[in-house]
Amino acid sequence: MALAFDTHEADLVAGICRLYREGELVAQHVTSCADGPLPLEDLLDLDGAWNAGQFFYQPEVMFTRALWQRAGGYVHDWLHYSMDYEMWLRFAEAGARLHVIGRPVAWFRLHDAQKTHVTARFQAELVTCRKDFLRQRDREFTAPVRPAARNRLRITMLNDIGPFYGAGIAHVRMARALAWAGHEISLVSILDRSILGIESKHYTSEDVLARVVETRPDLVIVGNLHAADADAFLLAELCEHFPVCVVMHDFWSITGRCAYPGTCEKYLGGCDEMCPTADEYPVMAPERIADEWRKKRLILGAQQGPSLLANSMWAAGIAEHALSADAENVVRRAPVAPFHLSFPLDIFRPRDMMMCREMLGLPEDKFIVLLPGGVSDPRKGALAFLDALARLGLPDLLVVTLGQADPLQKFPVAVQQLGQIHDQLKVAMANSAADLVVAPSREETFGQAVVEAIACGTPALGYALSGTCEAIRDGVTGMLADSDPGSLAAAVHYLYARPEARRELSSWGRIYVENEWSEFAASRRLYLALRAVDADGRIGMGRNIRFLGMPPALPAFQSVAKCEESWRPCQGISQMQHAVPKHGLGPHRWAYGPGAVVELFAKEAGLHRVLISYRNPHAGQQMALRCNGAKCGRYKLTQTGYGTSRMLVANVPLEQGSNLLQMAFAVWDTTREDLQLQAIIVTEILVEPVAMCDHLARQTSAAKLLSAVWGEEG
């Protein structure tokens, strides 16, 4: 509470009140009032707001002495039921400003002997109290007509590839935040991730619409769609049936094709074939770009179009500016509202630094700066920052990177690349292992990785630009630097030399994240954003926010276009490559050195045979396998060239469901200009329980072939 008052211009701070009955946590309440002036008109609306649960349980609020005195410095202790209500009226009249945190601050016992247990007892006194307040001020009040509202909705979350990569992770966290508030959640992805890169879409917009219709939603929240190369008119089809909100994890929804326009301003007046980044992700044929831009503007300007949810005030401003550029040509300007991302603070929490370094193979005696993005992405700004950092000459410095590794890149300082990590627990450990986390990107809609670091008790640094300004609270959770790499490096040096300052930022940062970025805080901010864009009441959000007493369980993703195979690529595996008839090679993928990761699926736990069909162009190739972190063996691979396939068979214990198989190679191609470190071609991976394989082996002559392969390579 102290930090909330200190970091916000507030006279009142409200938090979460945990409600217990007979020792059991049955619900958790937070006000649905927006931050800012305490709304007097809503306080006066007893049936539509106060009795509907919009305001407070009295113990969940703290207020300043100055406000108390400004509002008269007294309570009417003769009011039996509405003493606090009358005081809130005077607070609102005195211009009280409210700030709400997503942190439990009060424990409240519900029981049948409470004086407010029977509603009819106190409502009459509330009406009298309001009447006296209005009479003393010689004013009248007429309750507004409010549309029908529901406190629990069926919400379908739709995106391109499910819970993968930054936007997919944020999408699922949003779903969990909404589920905490009791909403019924369905998760639908257009693609199963394993068919990424296959040219045929394997779906139509009608397929997607049909899957969404099956979930019977009151509201559809759409995340990223560009990995599925979705037709923008899919949004229009969804809007014909349901209220739709599009989440801006980037700027794809307001441009012709790109996620981040950078210095290009074509998206304001019309993207076209002259797009300067048409060959960058998400790639699009230049002749399609103008049509896609027009489609999106038509949809966003339609009478029954979608609303936009932006994960920062900065991103919301960019969207509003873009939509206002052609406001004269639209029927309706799509409403835009900011919201907060959600973070699982049970995973992203402070841990022992030395333990995390040992687990990740990082040195204990170095000053570690963690870069949460890959080093090769120009938008992330890592290389320029490393050059500036090198000029400091810090003797014990080690920079650790997450994201796509680049083994051939030469760096001006010591760098250890951990590669792309999909396990959130390992990402949290990497944050806890670092002394500082630095995000040198100049263009981010927010900065999800930054808040993850702060939640782990690691101070964060970044530029005072774009959405990063809202992810880092300068002087509380980290430091913001001027917009050049030298200033960012100087901020690193400042904290390098001041361990006490790092400890203070670590402590304050964790508390700040619990206040502002918890799942509860995110759920409330989403509620406010949905209320803000729902001018016509089509969504119909109620006024009462009550969180569940126990963590919610989310359903599995339903994929519209599925791959029925038993594996899918995760890291270090190419997209699906075209067939090469001259080598008798069908569609295939390359596995890159020094290592790759694939996901295996098992229907039940137990020993399985993993059969990897490969083609190996390298002499002396070896492959070491680990599954779920456990060693499975090292295998010599036959040099087959490009025209012949062989099969490696390994007995691997698998858990039910998803398993991660790591492949480490001894040899890979380092001569290619495109820097693709090709190790082996993977044409197929099969997974079967050992018992089933043995049964098939007894029934077929394939047993001899498999025996020969095992004998030579197993």
Tens digit of pLDDT for each residue in 432-478? 999 999 999 988 888 899 999 999 999 999 999 989 999 999 999 99
pLDDT at 231 over 60: yes
Tell me the longest C-alpha to C-alpha distance in the chain: 98
Task: Enumerate the H helices of 400-518 as residue ranges.
Answer: 424-433, 448-455, 468-471, 485-496, 499-516
**Where does the pLDDT of residue 197 fall: very low under 50, low under 70, confident under 90, or very high at 90 and above?**
low
Task: Enumerate the H helices of 181-312 as residue ranges.
Answer: 205-214, 233-239, 266-269, 286-300
* Average pLDDT taken over every residue of the chain: 90
pLDDT at 588 over 70: yes
Distance CA 43, CA 86 (A): 10
pLDDT at 701 over 60: no
- Percentage of residues in the chain having pLDDT higher than 70: 93
**Where does the pLDDT of residue 703 fall: very low under 50, low under 70, confident under 90, or very high at 90 and above?**
very low
Q: Note whether 390 and 463 are same-domain residues.
A: yes
Q: Note whether 334 and 414 are same-domain residues.
A: no
Distance CA 587, CA 683 (A): 7
Tens digit of pLDDT for each residue in 492-515? 999 999 999 999 999 999 999 999
pLDDT at 702 over 80: no
pLDDT of the residue at 164: 85
Look at residue 252 and tell me if it is in a domain: yes
Least confident of 3-12, 198-207, 484-493, 600-609: 198-207
**Where does the pLDDT of residue 486 fall: very low under 50, low under 70, confident under 90, or very high at 90 and above?**
very high
Tens digit of pLDDT for each residue in 317-328? 999 999 987 766
For the chain, the distance separating the N- and C-terminal CA atoms, rounded to the nearest angstrom, is 62
Least confident of 393-402, 416-425, 701-710: 701-710
Tens digit of pLDDT for each residue in 279-298? 888 888 899 999 999 999 99
Q: Note whether 190 and 290 are same-domain residues.
A: yes
pTM of the entire structure?
0.80
Tens digit of pLDDT for each residue in 345-387? 999 999 999 999 999 999 999 999 999 987 877 778 899 999 9
Structural tokens at position 209: 């619409």
CATH number, domain with residue 323: 3.40.50
pLDDT of the residue at 38: 97
Distance CA 436, CA 457 (A): 10
Tens digit of pLDDT for each residue in 660-671? 999 999 999 988
Q: Is it true that the peptide bond before 587 is cis, omega within 30 degrees of 0? A: no
Tens digit of pLDDT for each residue in 121-180? 778 889 999 999 999 999 999 988 887 888 899 999 999 989 988 899 999 999 999 999
**Where does the pLDDT of residue 602 fall: very low under 50, low under 70, confident under 90, or very high at 90 and above?**
confident
Q: Note whether 191 and 323 are same-domain residues.
A: yes
Q: Amino acid identity of 464?
A: A
pLDDT of the residue at 198: 53
pLDDT of the residue at 698: 47
**Where does the pLDDT of residue 408 fall: very low under 50, low under 70, confident under 90, or very high at 90 and above?**
confident
Q: Note whether 259 and 183 are same-domain residues.
A: yes
CA-based nearest residue to 186, from 230, 220, 152, 225: 220
Q: Note whether 316 and 420 are same-domain residues.
A: no
pLDDT at 712 over 60: no
Burial class (CB in 10 A: 0-12, 13-18, 19+), 556: exposed
Give residues with Cβ within 8 angstroms of 132, minimum separation 6: none
Look at residue 147 and tell me if it is in a domain: no
Mean of pLDDT values over 698-712: 43
Q: Note whether 528 and 510 are same-domain residues.
A: no
Q: Note whether 444 and 360 are same-domain residues.
A: yes
pLDDT at 99 over 80: yes
**Where does the pLDDT of residue 706 fall: very low under 50, low under 70, confident under 90, or very high at 90 and above?**
very low
- Percentage of residues in the chain having pLDDT higher than 90: 69
Look at residue 19 and tell me if it is in a domain: yes
Number of domains comprising the chain:
4
CATH number, domain with residue 9: 3.90.550.10
CA-based nearest residue to 650, from 591, 579, 706, 589: 706
Look at residue 544 and tell me if it is in a domain: yes
Among 456, 483, 516, give the residue marking a domain's end: 516
pLDDT of the residue at 380: 84
Look at residue 430 and tell me if it is in a domain: yes
How far apart, in Å, are the Cα atoms of 657 and each of 566, 598, 601? 10, 13, 5
pLDDT of the residue at 118: 65
pLDDT of the residue at 330: 67
Q: Note whether 239 and 380 are same-domain residues.
A: no
pLDDT of the residue at 536: 85
**Where does the pLDDT of residue 647 fall: very low under 50, low under 70, confident under 90, or very high at 90 and above?**
very high
Distance CA 164, CA 244 (A): 22
Q: Note whether 167 and 264 are same-domain residues.
A: yes
**Where does the pLDDT of residue 575 fall: very low under 50, low under 70, confident under 90, or very high at 90 and above?**
confident
Which domain covers residue 188, as residue numbers? 154-342+521-558
pLDDT of the residue at 710: 42
Q: Note whether 511 and 539 are same-domain residues.
A: no
**Where does the pLDDT of residue 563 fall: very low under 50, low under 70, confident under 90, or very high at 90 and above?**
low
pLDDT at 695 over 50: no
Look at residue 248 and tell me if it is in a domain: yes
How far apart, in Å, are the Cα atoms of 577 and each of 370, 494, 590, 680? 34, 49, 8, 13
Q: Note whether 46 and 124 are same-domain residues.
A: yes
CA-based nearest residue to 639, from 672, 614, 664, 669: 614
Look at residue 173 and tell me if it is in a domain: yes
Mean of pLDDT values over 640-657: 90
CATH number, domain with residue 583: 2.60.120.260
Q: Are 527 and 541 spatial neighbours (Cβ–Cβ below 8 Å)?
A: yes
Triad 632, 637, 641: Cα angle to 5°: 150
Mean of pLDDT values over 467-492: 95
Look at residue 141 and tell me if it is in a domain: no
